[in-house]
């Protein structure tokens, strides 16, 4: 191996986000302008750059747990407000989001991992690689790509 790059994941590809959401049992609600949450911020967590308290609950699209009940919280998919392209995901994990966290994992990591796998697979295939996806016992996703140009 000659070098190892560590990457801070950014959500930029909506198609891959939709694919990852499906994998986690979520459905994409295009142009839904609000997402279900507690409704009031108590200010215990910092907001993403460019967002204000009054922006919470508003979004450009949303993700909903397919088999959730009427009280399961949703994820807001919002255009970033820090000048960079892509999306910020907003959700309320109070009480596990009443089923949301079970679907997307702690800190949404299950959804983020599925998104990263979808993006990397897409890019690798575009470059002509054959991609094999595996998951180890600890839950780590490993993509092995061979035969690229």
Partner 1 sequence: MAHTVIVEIDNGKVTVTARGVKGKTCTDITASIEKSLGTTSADSKTGEYYQKSDEKLKVTR
- Site of interaction with partner 1 (CB under 8 A): 1-10, 12-13, 107-109, 112-113, 116-117, 119-120, 122-124, 127, 129, 138-146, 148
Cα distance between residue 27 and residue 88, in whole Å: 17
Question: Please, which residues have CB within 8 angstroms of residue 145's CB and are 6 or more apart in sequence?
Answer: 124, 129, 130, 131, 132
**At closest approach, how far in Å is the CB of 119 from partner 1?**
5
Considering the complex, state which of residue 53 and residue 127 has its C-beta at the smaller distance from partner 1: 127
40 contacts 56 by C-beta, under 8 angstroms? no
**At closest approach, how far in Å is the CB of 97 from partner 1?**
17
Considering the complex, state which of residue 29 and residue 90 has its C-beta at the smaller distance from partner 1: 90
74 contacts 63 by C-beta, under 8 angstroms? yes
Considering the complex, state which of residue 62 and residue 117 has its C-beta at the smaller distance from partner 1: 117
**At closest approach, how far in Å is the CB of 143 from partner 1?**
4
């Amino acid at each position: 191996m000659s070098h190892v790059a560590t990457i801070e994941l950014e959500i930029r590809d909506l198609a891959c986000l939709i694919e990852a959401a499906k994998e986690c049992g979520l459905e994409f609600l295009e142009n839904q302008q609000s997402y279900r949450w507690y409704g009031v911020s108590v200010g215990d967590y910092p907001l993403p750059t460019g967002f204000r308290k009054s922006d919470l609950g508003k979004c450009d699209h949303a993700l909903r747990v397919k088999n959730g009940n009427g009280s399961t919280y949703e994820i807001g998919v919002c255009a970033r407000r820090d000048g960079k392209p892509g999306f910020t995901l907003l959700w309320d994990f109070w009480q596990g989001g009443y089923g949301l966290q079970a679907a997307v994992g702690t800190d949404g990591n299950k959804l983020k991992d599925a998104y990263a796998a979808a993006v990397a697979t897409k890019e690798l295939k575009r470059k002509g690689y054959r991609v094999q996806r595996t998951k180890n016992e600890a839950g780590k996703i490993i993509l092995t790509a061979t035969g690229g140009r």
